[in-house]
Structure 1
Amino acid sequence: MIRHILLIKFLATADTAQIKHLQTLFEAMPQKVTGVLTVEWGVNNSPEYRNKGYTHSVLMTFADEAGRQNYLPHPEHLALKQVLRPLLDDIIVFDFQL
C-alpha cells in the first residue's frame, strides 16, 4: 500500500463552500478511481501551533503502485485539480510505501 499525504494552505479568498466542495470531490475518489482505497479529510486542530498556515490535510491510501499510477492521470483527479488550484496558497505532497 501507498499513503499519499497532502497538506493544504488555502488562499484567504477560498470560502467555506468551495472548500467543502473540494472535500466532497476528494472523498468520492475511492468510488471513482480503481486503486484508491480510502480518503480521509481533516482540519488541523493541533495545540502546538506548528502547522505554518497549513489548515487541511488529505490522506489517501492506494492499493499499490498501479493504483497510484492509475490515479495520477485519471480524469477525476485532473478535474479535482482544476477545482483545487485556484484555491491554493501552497501544498505539500508526500507519499510513502507501507
Structure 2
Amino acid sequence: MEPLFAPAAAAAASFNFQFLAFLVLGALVATLIARPRALSEGFVALAVVGVSGAWLGAEIAHLFGQADRGGTHQFAAALIGAAILSVAWRRLHPAEPLQRGDPARR
C-alpha cells in the first residue's frame, strides 16, 4: 500500500499544496472568528492575518522539529497559529458595536 500513497505524500509536502492549505486554513479561521460580526468589517485583513498566522505556526513547528513538511502535525500547528494570530488581531482591532438601523444588524 505504500507505493499507492507515495505520490499523495509527495504532493502534500510540495510548496504549492502547503500554500493552498494555508490559504484555506487562514480564511476558515478568519471566517469563524469574524462570524459573530458582519463579515464585511475587516474580513479581508483578518483573512490575511489568518494566512500569516498559519504560515508562522507551521514554520515555527518545523523549526523546532515538531512537524515535518506536509504532515498532519504541520497543518495542526498552522491551524493553531492562525487562531492565535487572528484572535490577537481581533483584540487589538475591535469592531465597532452595531448601531440601531445598521443593515448588518438584521
Return the TM-score normalized by structure 2.
0.30
In the superposition, the TM-score normalised over structure 1's length comes to: 0.32
Higher radius of gyration, 1 or 2: 2
Q: Where is the helix percentage greater, Structure 1 or Structure 2?
A: 2
Higher strand share: 1
Report 1 or 2 for greater relative contact order, CA contacts < 8 Å, sequence distance ≥ 6.
1
